[in-house]
Amino acid sequence: MTTPARAYEALELPWPPRFSPLGKHPEPQQSREELVRLNSAVWTVTRLLAASSLDVPWYEAKLAIGEAVHALAEVAATCEERIAELGARLAPPDRAADGPTAARLAHALAAPAAHRLAALPGQWLTPLLDQFSAASFDPMLDGPSERLRRRAVSDLDDAFMWFFEAAARFRPAEKESASPHPTAHTPAQRPTMGIRDTRFRTFESTRDYRKAPGWVTSGSDYTDDLLELVRVNRDEIDALETFALALFDLVEEAPLPVLRHLARLAWDEARHSACGHALLAEQFGDPYAHECSMIGIRVRGGMGGWDAWTQITVFGELGIIGPMRALAREAGRRGDKRTAGAFAFICSDETMHLRESRRLLAAYHPLGGLGAAAEAARTRAGRTLETLGLYDAEQFTQLNERQIFELLGE
């Protein structure tokens, strides 16, 4: 009869009997160096996708980008946290790509969107997955790094699946040609204007749907409010683009909590847009029959990351929460559980966005406070509106937060 002790001795250890001197990374420093390389590669792909959220016209692709950007930023965050545990802290410039990779990024962003999407799996996503798959960390001595690596492969594979499956649909038209290769010293330039695919009809003068082309009242206040707010959420495409452009701009400048938050916001707004799109289809027919507002991204697209993020936070997020909460309550009273539940979740997200964005802007904005940040964003928005011929800059400075929200939306 086998005794408990003998049975225990017969069991294998949960980790292979291998120590670092026999493995790939015999010292913590070498694990750190491997993680720094992986981290830089993740942020480069994050920037490529974040910038592409603006000039990729296909609606489905924009939503997939929102999810992928969040997954990538979470992987990068765990890399940076592990690097700190191993005795080093990265400064924001440490996220920058090396010279050849930076030139590849600049070249990719100079190419037409169809070229970029078609090349994305083979040139960027698969190589990143291969880097994580090929990395090796001792499962006993450096277990946290090895677990990070395994989870990154799983999470990124899941986030990239849409692009792998859709790549064949984005073969560029023959008349399109890739732009000339930038020099090694050409910085990566992101687009400054969001683009919509041809299924959308758009308008640019306001975010007030009741003043937009094609608005016809149903005669029911509830139905009109519902249509307006599902359109607001479907058009959060421009919020996704805003947070993504801020992420692109701030990767080499802002602290990790800011970048992680911006990536979460981009993912949330992608989900909100999909929710609005679904509710439009379920309750109002063809979702593409309802015009899409473009004024928000027209104003914010040319702003720098800090200003764009501040503008949407101070003058956008707060204005939308109250109306959506009221709609959720009324939907609940009417027994419309689907609408009530959808807007309850969205309100929860938006409340977090407002709270955390204001906290992070107050803590990290280069101007040193939320008040100064808001004034700078207001001034920039006014000048942009005047340049676009949509509003007088001096008059814009006299608008209060509610009026700015009504004009620009979230």
| DSSP state string for 194-219 | ----TT--EE-S-S-GGGSTT----S
CA distances from residue 263 to 33, 72, 189, 236, 245 in whole angstroms, order as listed: 25, 9, 19, 15, 10
* Confidence band, pLDDT 50/70/90 cuts, at residue 108: very high
**Tokens, residue 251:** 């990767």
396: CB partners within 8 A, 6+ apart: 378, 381, 382, 385, 386, 404
Domain residue extents for the chain: 23-170, 202-408
The length of the chain, given as a count of residues:
410
- CATH topology identical between 23-170 and 202-408: yes
pLDDT for the residue numbered 8: 57
Contact (Cβ atoms closer than 8 angstroms) between residue 53 and residue 300: no
Q: Which residue, 266, 270, 281, 282, is CA-closest to 233?
A: 270
In the predicted structure, residue 381 carries a pLDDT above the cut 90: no
51-60 burial, b at 16+ Cβ within 10 Å, e below that, comes to bbbbbbbbbe
pLDDT for the residue numbered 295: 86
Residues in a beta bridge with 203: 293
pLDDT for the residue numbered 23: 54
Task: Give per-residue pLDDT as tens, 329-378.
Answer: 999 999 999 999 999 999 999 999 999 999 999 999 999 988 898 888 88
**Tokens, residue 157:** 């594979």
Residues in a beta bridge with 202: 292
**Tokens, residue 335:** 């027994």
Contact (Cβ atoms closer than 8 angstroms) between residue 46 and residue 262: no
Work out the number of other CB atoms within 10 angstroms of the CB of residue 164: 14
Helix axes 28-55, 99-110, angle to 10 degrees: 10
Q: What is the CATH number of domain 202-408?
A: 1.20.1260.10
Phi/psi class of residue 203: alpha, beta or left (left: φ > 0; alpha: ψ in -120 to 50)?
beta
- CATH for 23-170 (1.20.1260.10, 3.40.50.300, 1.10.760.10, 2.60.40.10): 1.20.1260.10
pTM: 0.89
pLDDT for the residue numbered 176: 45
* Confidence band, pLDDT 50/70/90 cuts, at residue 387: confident
Work out the number of other CB atoms within 10 angstroms of the CB of residue 9: 9
pLDDT for the residue numbered 408: 52
pLDDT for the residue numbered 71: 98
Q: How far apart are CA 377 and CA 363, in angstroms?
A: 16
